[in-house]
Every structure is written in structure tokens, then in C-alpha cells.
Structure 1
Amino acid sequence: MTHAPGTTGAQHPALPADSPGPHSRRLGLIAVVATFGGLLFGYDTGVINGALAPMKDDLGLTAFTEGFVVSILIFGAAIGALVGGRLSDRYGRRHNILMLAAIFALGTIGCVLAPSWQVLALFRFILGLAVGGASATVPVYLAEVSPYERRGSLVTRNEVMIVSGQFAAFVINAIIFQLWGEHDSVWRFMLLVAVAPAILLFVGMLRMPESPRWLSSQDRESEALAVLKQVRSPERAEAEMAEVRALAEEEKLAQTGGWADLAVPWIRRLLLIGIGLGVFQQFTGINSIMYYGSQLLEDAGFSAEAAILGNTLFGLASVLGISVGILVMNRVNRRTMLLGGFGLTTSFHLLVGLAALLMPDNSVKPHALLVFAVLFVFSMQGTIGPLVWLLLAEIFPLKIRSFAMGVCVFCLWMANAGVAFGFPPVVSSVGIAPTFFIFAGLGVFALIFIATSVPETRGVTLEQFEDTFKAAHAEKG
């Protein structure tokens, strides 16, 4: 396997240092505003956890309609990722995020006012389109406005906001239920909270710039340079613009941009790597915990009340894990962190399975399972979770970056749907231990895939990585 140079994180010799200044504060503000898309992603996927019980009573959901209402958002997200990537390539990253903010608000209000489960499902699907579009667009936008030295930490902020949104949903649901739990429509208040960040995202993005790399791909060179000067020192902006311009010219000659590019072996290889990363991220089973954590803990032996409390620990572990991950993201190579992350999650899968299989049924057993599951969530969200999103935003050529991201995130969401649908019946039929042994087996395959296929991207610009990977793999097919 040939890796990109500069994996030690050394300064790129052709570019001046990314010195601090007013442009650094501007870049930080852009990251804060854009990642409200991640916050909405997290809240809208997590809020159903606490809202489902009162929603079921209020709308008379059956087992089938309950599953349909929950899962329809996932399918909407898969489609939204695929379509959102194409729209982002055609109309721009900023334009896409503005549109997604409006769809978030529309979908949320529609869910809040839904008179029946059919209407609720329709607007949950619309929300899913926004969730998927945000998952494919925001990381690319952040990667393209960031200097390569800070790209890891800035792109990872989106994952921080995703897990923070999920945790916020768990906490806000608990608070609202305590205040208005006697009302049949309490679930509507839980969902309504998401309107506020949607409005903030829309208003904030009106004042944010477009991606300089997308502008360059549209031959809007002066605008691209003006944006770079907002988020870089003048010397760095000029030097970086020269690299962007040179690569854009090469890509025009190569006629990159869509499905036809899959005929190019090195691009097809990158797409398969991206799909593998997305699928294996979901096959860790992280969303089996985030969607069904309370049910899993009850099956392990906790009371219903204790299971709800334990479920909030999963949300807290997510936030703490990603917080630790972002601190070390730019200090450790991507491949090293991925291999370590899958090693940890696979180990905790085995520990959960062995505890469920071998420990006697006493008061210690459920607490042991909780500890191992919390450590699994912490490990996954501190390594695999953010790194996969970061790598997907880094590895693809400019002209197909959002298109390829959309394809990969579509596959990621479909794997998510498979885990979400499969986890409850598998646990019910074979038990906790065999289910987590399956996850451990998938983790071994993931380790082999990363060791043999995934390239290193740390310490190089997006353009340098592309140039190096293309040179190394163009003739391999």
C-alpha cells in the first residue's frame, strides 16, 4: 500500500505557515455556524428515543406503524445524502446548506403539527432528506475552507455537534417529560425544539462564504481568492490558490464530475474505500446503542427506570469520546487511529458478549454490561465516528467530492438502516452474546480492510493527496 507523503504532519513546503490572526477567528465562526447542520442531524435522529412512547399513545401507533415512523427518517437520509451531494456539486456547498436549513424547519414543523401517523411519517421522511443532505455536505464544506493543518479538528467539530445533538435530545426529552408528561401531545414539544437551530443555521449561513475550492471549480477565481483571504493570511491565500487553480485545470482536462468517472480505476478505488469506511462505521453497531440503548439495558437486567438513566450515559460517553478525539485528531495519523479504534470496539464487543454469556444472572451482570457498552461508545465516538466523516471529506477529487461523498453516505445510511432493523429481532432470537460476537467478527473484517486499503491523509493538502494517490494508483486498476 502506497501512502501519501507528509504523514508526520510536517508543514507543506510550498505553503507559508498558517499563522494566527483575524482570519483564524473568521474560520472559527464559519465552523460554528456550519456545524449547526450536525446539531440538527444529531437532535432529529436522537429525539425519537424519548418521544416515541407518548407519540405511540397519542397517534395510536401499532407495532408496524411505530417501526415505519422511526425508520422512514433513515431511508430519507440515505436518499438525501445521494441527492444532496449532487446538488452541492452543482449549486455550491453554501447554497445547499441554506436549502437544508429550510427543509429542517419545514420537516420539524410538519412533524409537530401532524394529525396522523401518515402525515408524521411524510414529514419524518422530509427531515431525513435534510439529515442525509447535511451529513454529505457539511463535512465537505468544512474540509474545503480549512487549512490542512487544522482540517482534522475543524471537520471533526461536525461530529461533535452530531453527538451533542443526540445527547441534548435525551436530556431535553427528559426535562420536557418531567414538566408536561401528563399531556398526550408532549412529544410535539420535544420535536419543536429543533426549529431554533434550523433558523440559526439559515440566518448564519447567509453571512458565510462559499467554498473557495468549489468557486475555483466554477472558474470564479477572484471570488475563490477573496474567500481564502477571509480565512488565511494574505501570503498563504495566494500560495494555496495557486495549488487549487493548478489542480482545477488538471481536473477539467480529466472531465471529472459524476458516474462516468467510475471508469477511471483510481477514482473507482477511492469510491470503494469510501463506501467501505461508511459501511464498517455502521457495522460497529453504534446506532444499535443510540436507538435501542434502553431496550438493551432492560434485556440485560435493569429496571425500566434504571435503563432510561443508563441510556443517558451512552449520550454522555459519545460527547466525552468525541471531545477526546478532537484533541488528538491532528497529532495522530488517521490510519493509526482507525486501527486503534476498531481494535478497541472489537475488544469491547467481545467483552459484552462474554459477560452476557458467562456471568451468572445477578446484580453485577447488568452493570458489567453497561460499563463495557459505555466504553464501546466512548471508544467508537472518539476514533471511528469522526475519522470516517473526516476521511470521506478528504479523499475525493474536487470535481466529484460531493457526488462521491453522497454515494458513500447513502451506503452508510443503508448500513445504518440494516443495523436498526436487524438489531431487535437478532437480540430477541439469539440473545445479547451472539449479537455482539457478530459485531466483533465484523470488526475483524474492518481491521483487515483498513490495514490493506485505506490511505493516509494527515499532513497534506487535499490537492497534494489527490495528486499523490492518482500517481500511485492510476496504473494499478
Structure 2
Amino acid sequence: MSVAGPAGAIKNRQPSNHKRALRTVTIISTFGGLLFGYDTGVINGALPYMQEDLGLTPLTEGLVTSSLLFGAAFGALFGGRLADRNGRRKMIMVLAMIFLVGTLACTFSPSTEVMIAARFVLGLAVGGASVTVPVYLAEVSPSARRGRIVTQNELMIVTGQLLAFIFNAYLGNTFGETGGIWRWMLVIATLPAIALWIGMTFMPESPRWLASMGSFGETLSVLQRIRSEEEARKEFEEVKAMAVEDYKSKMGSWKDLGVPWLRRIFVVGIGLAVIQQITGVNSIMYYGTQILAQSGFAREAALTANIANGVISVLATFVGIWLLGRVGRRRMLITGQIGTTTALLLIGLFSLILPEGSARGFVILSLTVTFLAFQQGAISPVTWLMLSEIFPLKIRGLGMGASAFVLWTVNFMVGFGFPQLLAAIGLSSTFFVFAVLGVGAIAFAAKFVPETKDKSLEDVEHYFKNAAAVKTEATAGAGAS
């Protein structure tokens, strides 16, 4: 069986090739995560040089940083819906072009106003990638390996941030006195954007999206490319059955949230998005160099020391991927929240009691590294994985898009408000605020977040339906008595 078109030049492969094909799909599509990471991390080192060239104040510094996040909120909101309508693969290719255009616009920005607008455009691609790539990976992955495969996108995100920190440190320390060095820091992101667009022209469409469109022949062909023959046949029947069940409502709408079990999933998704961001993780990822400079490091030394934050993020993500195959998602999430909240409390405490000229800078660096170990090793991979898992096909684009919109909106508030909080109340009080929010995040995770480990996407949907049915019966029984 074969399918016409660049995404569908798919022929039945020998069983020994299906793992290689799945691995290739994973690597190529997660270049979207690499771009996500690089474009959010590069501002960390570029900002001090922009301050000099563009004359940034704390307000415009926050705007330059957070305009990308504001754009990402809308990219996430509409990206999921567009991916539902036009396909995951086509959406990722469009995002690659927006990454390229946005990066070039940022690189050649002549003023603060143009930079803010260009960062907003770049944010549209970052937000779109944040929802489309995890969903695409979840839908092409076998249930037994879904956790490991989807979280490889998180690994690529933190790898992108680490690469940004390394290039920032190298360029800043080597050519720091050269005018406009920040432009070279930014333009590097054009390379993975081009690679993503070229690579996705050869990748298959999501089999679950194809099934939702009624293209069952193409669905089977894609599954045969990335599964063994037996696995492809078995999964095809499951996917087909679920797609037929949802066929009349394949494009979910806000009206669907009138159904209690769908509304419950939606609330859990929004909550996951909020608690991932109110840890304040991106205050460190965006302003780590400034935090270290305020803690006692010189500017160039802070650029170099900040690489430690990137290294621990990558290493912790490797650990998180390993743990996902062995530990429940819910347990990992709660443990991560406890760890990050404790680290935030200690950052606030030590930045308050340790005087300048002491080892304060190294103590704060060790605590930011500890914070990121819990954040990137537990909270972030679990959040993006669960958001790609919990929504049924019927509202997957809507739910993922809305959740990511909220996530990026909270991210925007952190990115915009952090430099002003820092100027108004100081380093220690700012981190005490994040610690208090962390306590609320722990309480939400413990009360509302379900376990999804070792469940297929169809199993997760049936779980929520059954839970709602049991609750309805219990309510009816209580009313009758």
C-alpha cells in the first residue's frame, strides 16, 4: 500500500526498519523544541548587550523579553486549532518558516520598538511549536514508549537553551567589546529553522489525525512505517474505533466543555499549565545572568557561570526521561514541586542573609542549579507529556491550545514582571513570592492531577469518562437516599 504526496511516499517496510523510522520522526520534529529552547534562552545572555545598544530600561527590558512570551500565548492558542484543521506535519512546517522570519527580524532590529514586534512574531512560532510538536509525538508514539518519546522534545528544549548559553558565553567573552554582538547570538537560530522545514517535508502525518479525517488507508500506511506489522494492525483497530466514535465531532468546540468529564480534563490541563510556570523557572532561564551578576559575579563571569544552569537542565531532563518509565507522572510532579519550592525559599533566604563579597554568588548558583534539577527533571517533562496525553482526540487541539495559552500567559507575566519586581523589592523578596506560589502548586497537584502512566491515549479518555460516570451514579444514589 502506498500514499501519494511528500508526506505519504510510504511503503510497507520490513519490521527491522520501523524503529529507525520512528526515531527519525522523533529527531526531526523535535527541532521545533530545539528552536523553542534556543529562542527563549538566548535572551539571557543577549540582554546585557542590548541594554547598551538599545538603551533598555527595566520596563523595556521586560517588554523585549516578554513580547516573545505574549506572542507564544497566541501561537499556542491558535496553533492547536490550526493543527487540528490542517494536520500536525503541515503546521510544523509553517512554524519553521515563522521561526526563520522572526529570527531574521530580531537580528536586524534597529530599535527597541522593532525588536519587541519581531520578538512577538518569533513567539507565535515558539507557542505553536509548544503545542503541535508534543501532540504530534504523542500521536505517532506507541503507548509503551510515549513517555520517553514525548519528553525527548523537552530534552531538545533544554538542549537549545544550553546551546544558547554556550554561544552567549563564547561570543560575549571573545567579542564582548564588539558592537552588536547580540545580533550574532540571535542569528544562529536560523540554522535549525531551515533544518526543521527541510526535514518535515519527508515526515509522515500523524496517524491519529489522519484517522480523525477519515483517511484510514493512510492511517494504516503510516502505522506500518513506524510499527511492526502486528503492532500496526492492532493499533489501527484501536485508533479507527476511537475515530469513528468521535467522527461527527472531530473538531471540538467550547460547547463540548458542557460535558462534565471533558470539562474536568480541561480544568486539569489549565492547572498543569499554571503550576509549571508559577515556580518562576523562567526568571532563571531568561534572567539567570542578571541574577548571578546581582549575586556577586562580574558580567562575563556571570555569562560563563550561567552555563551551569543549562548543563544541569540537560542532565536533569535525561534523568526525568529515565524516571518516566519507572515512576508515576503524578508522583514525579509533586516531588518536583516540593524540590523547587524548597530551593526558591533558600535562594530568598541566603540572598538576604549573606553579605556582598562573601560566597553569596556561588551559593545562589548552587541553589539555581538545584532548582533546575527538580524543575527540568520532574515538573517540565511531566507537564508537557501529560498535556499531550489527557485530552481526547475530540478536543485535543482545543485543550492543548488553551492550556498552552494559559501557560505562556503566566510565563509572560513572570518574564515581564521579574525585572520590575527585582528593582522594586529586591532579589530575596522576589523569590519568597515564588516560594509561596509553589506551595499552592503542590496543593493543586496533590488534589486534582490523575495518573496516566502506561495508559494508551484511548485508555486515558475512557478513564475520565468512567470516573465521571461513577461520580454521577454516586450523586444520584446520594440524592435518592
Relative to the length of structure 1, the TM-score reads 0.92
Establish whether residue 313 from structure 1 lines up as the match of residue 338 from structure 2.
no
Q: Structure 1's 108 and 254: CA in aligned 2 closer, same or farther, altered over 3 A?
A: closer
- The Cα offsets for residues 105-152 of structure 1, whole Å up to 9 and x where unpaired, read as 111122223333333322211111000000010000000000011111
How do 1:45-194 residues align onto structure 2 when only pairs under 5 Å count?
Answer: 45-194=40-189
- Work out whether 1:28 is the aligned partner of 2:23: yes
Is 1:411 the counterpart of 2:414? The answer is no
What corresponds to 1:278 in structure 2? 273
Q: How far off its partner does 1:64 sit?
A: 4.1
Q: 2:417 is matched by which residue type in structure 1? A: G
* Partner secondary structure for residue 306 of structure 2: helix
What residue number does 1:424 align with?
A: 419
In the other structure, the counterpart of 1:232 is 227
Displacement of 1:474 in angstroms is 4.5
**Partner residue of 1:447 out of 435, 442, 446:** 442
Range with bigger deviation, 52-61 or 216-225 = 52-61
- Against the structure 1 CA distance between its residues 51 and 203, is the aligned structure 2 distance closer, same or farther, given a 3 Å change threshold? same
1:358-394 CA-to-partner distances (Å, cap 9, x unmatched) read: 4455523332222122111111100001110000000
Contact 2:279–2:434 at 8 Å: present in 1 too? yes
On the 8 A contact 1:23/1:232 being kept in 2, the answer is yes
Gapped regions of structure 1 (runs ≥ 5): 1-18
Answering whether residue 453 of structure 2 is matched by residue 458 of structure 1, we say yes
Q: Residues 139 and 176 from structure 1, CA distance in 2 versus in 1: closer, same or farther, beyond 3 angstroms?
A: same
- Would you say 1:378 and 2:373 are equivalent positions? yes
Assess if the C-alpha contact under 8 Å between 2:65 and 2:286 holds in 1.
Answer: no
- TM-fit CA distance, 1:179: 4.5
Counterparts of 2:185 and 2:422 in 1: how far apart (Å)?
29
SS in 2 for 1:385: helix
Structure 2 gap segments, 5+ residues each: 1-13, 473-481
- Paired letter, 2:453: R
Q: Distance in 2 between matches of 1:123 and 1:426?
A: 25
Name the SS for the 1:460 alignment partner: coil
Q: Superposition RMSD on alpha carbons, in Å?
A: 2.0
Amino acid in structure 2 at the alignment position of 1:397 = P
Q: Please, which moves more after superposition, 321-330 or 279-288?
A: 321-330
User: Hey, what's the Cα distance between the residues in 2 that align with 1:36 and 1:393?
Assistant: 18
Partner of 2:11: none
Contact 2:265 2:464 in 1 (8 A): no
Q: 1:136 to 1:171 in 2, by over 3 A?
A: same
Q: Deviation per CA, 1:179-229, whole angstroms, max 9, x where unpaired?
A: 443432322222111111001000000000000000000000010111011
**1:21 is paired with a residue of what secondary structure?**
helix
Partner of 2:194: 199
Confirm or deny: 8 A CA contact 1:341 1:384 kept in the other structure.
yes
The TM-score, its normalising length taken from structure 2, stands at 0.91
Equivalence for 1:291: 286
The one-letter code matched in structure 2 to 1:301 is: G
The structural deviation recorded for 1:438 is: 2.4
Higher mean Cα deviation, 182-191 or 309-318?
182-191
Q: Indicate how the Cα distance of structure 1 residues 417 and 240 shifts in structure 2: closer, same or farther if over 3 A, else same.
A: same
Judge conservation of contact 1:57–1:184 (CA < 8 Å) in 2: no
- 2:204 paired with 1:222: no
Q: What's the % identity of the aligned pairs?
A: 53
Distance 1:437 1:114 in 2: 36
Please give the alpha-carbon distance, in whole angstroms, between the structure 1 residues aligned to 2:57 and 2:309.
28
In 2 relative to 1, CA 53–295 (structure 1 residues): closer, same or farther, beyond 3 Å?
Answer: closer
Q: Report the secondary structure of 1:225's partner residue.
A: helix
Q: Tell me which amino acid in the other structure corresponds to 1:392.
A: L
Compute the displacement of 1:57 (Å): 3.5
Amino acid at match of 2:127: G
Partner of 1:37: 32
State whether residues 286 and 380 of structure 1, in contact with CA within 8 Å, keep that contact through their aligned partners in structure 2. Answer: yes
Q: Helix, strand or coil: the match of 1:149?
A: helix
Cα shift at 1:178: 4.2
Pick closer, same or farther for the CA change 1:134–1:372 going to 2, 3 Å: same
> How many residue pairs were aligned?
459
Q: CA deviation at 1:254?
A: 5.8
Match for residue 387 of structure 2 among 380, 383, 392: 392
* In 2, Cα distance between equivalents of 1:183 and 1:362: 30
Residue deviations 1:143-190 (CA, integer Å, cap 9, x gap): 000001111111001111111111111111222334443432322222
